[in-house]
Structure 1
Amino acid sequence: MIETCRTVSTTPERVFAVLADGWSYASWVVGAAHIRDVDAGWPAVGTRVHHRVGLWPLHINDQTVVRAVETGKTLELDAQMWPLGAAMIRIWLEPVSATSTRIHMAETLTSGIGRLLPDAVQSLLLRPRNAEALRRLDDIAVHRESR
């Protein structure tokens, strides 16, 4: 798995609140263009975010499914990433202090053409994308109002 980390100036609860808001998915996931629907109960195991990926006008309807969740700590997802296939993504939150959190994001391509890429090539594709996703997640978690 390709792992990327970022330390943010907020609590794990605030970061997880963003992860638990399926409607915010396209705001922090690089490549997700539009949220079409979010299953009731997100992020319970088996629930889905229905999204579009790609640049207009070449949008593809896809979905991301929750594989595992530990509220406030971890979220594991199966994400469709057409045309590369699918990926397994694991996000876990590590408290660093009372006011900071280290976010870990690990991803591996699990099907489709992307699975055939060597790890070094997967890393070249995924690490910058996931670093940007964590920057966006940081911005949202730190600056959005508490709900």
Structure 2
Amino acid sequence: MAKNIRTMNCRPADVFEVLANGWLYPAWVVGASRMRDVDETWPQAGAELHHSVGVWPALLDDTTVVEEWSPPNRMVMRARGWPIGEARVTLRVRSYDGGTMVRIDEEPVTGPAALLPSILTAPILRVRNAETLYRLAYLAEGHAS
């Protein structure tokens, strides 16, 4: 499992405001290229984002589903990225030293990536998720909605 932590100069509610807007997903998730649709019930459990991953012309249409939505502290998603597989992504958010600490955990759960040892996948996911948290911080600190 890959774990990353970042402190942000905003409130936990600001982070969840960004997470609640499914149309912002490709703005903070590295690898997501565009949105095709967002379920009307987003971000409630079971709601899906319909996005594409990759770079044109090699785009793949896929989905991400909410497994748990518990603002202002936690969100769990199952992100699909076939043919690589699926990953469980957990965001933990808490107040910290006048700002917010966000931790992201990502673990491949199905598909080829889940068959690889964590010693191979975790470093790649940590680099990607460091940038993901960097982008999320820009949006949350700038109060994007």
> What range describes the TM-score normalised by the shorter chain of this pair?
over 0.9
Q: Which secondary structure state, in structure 1, belongs to the residue aligned with residue 41 of structure 2? A: coil
Identity, % of aligned pairs? Answer: 38
Q: State the superposition RMSD in angstroms.
A: 1.1
Q: Which secondary structure state, in structure 2, belongs to the residue aligned with residue 45 of structure 1? A: coil
Rounded to whole Å, the distance in 2 between the matches of 1:143 and 1:19 is: 14
Q: Is the 8 A contact 2:2 2:123 kept in 1?
A: no
Q: Give the aligned residue type for 2:109.
A: T
Q: How many residues are treated as equivalent by the alignment?
A: 145
Write out aligned runs for 1:24-103 (5 A): 24-97=24-97, 99-103=98-102
**Which structure 1 segments of 5+ residues have no match?**
none
1:143: how far off? 1.2
Q: Which secondary structure state, in structure 1, belongs to the residue aligned with residue 17 of structure 2? A: helix
1:58-110 alpha-carbon deviations (Å, 9 max, x no partner) = 1110000000110221110000012210000000101103x400000001001
TM-score by length of 2: 0.96
- Structure 2 residue 133 is matched with structure 1 residue 134: yes
Rounded to whole Å, the distance in 2 between the matches of 1:132 and 1:23 is: 19
**Which structure 2 segments of 5+ residues have no match?**
none
Q: Which secondary structure state, in structure 1, belongs to the residue aligned with residue 103 of structure 2? A: strand
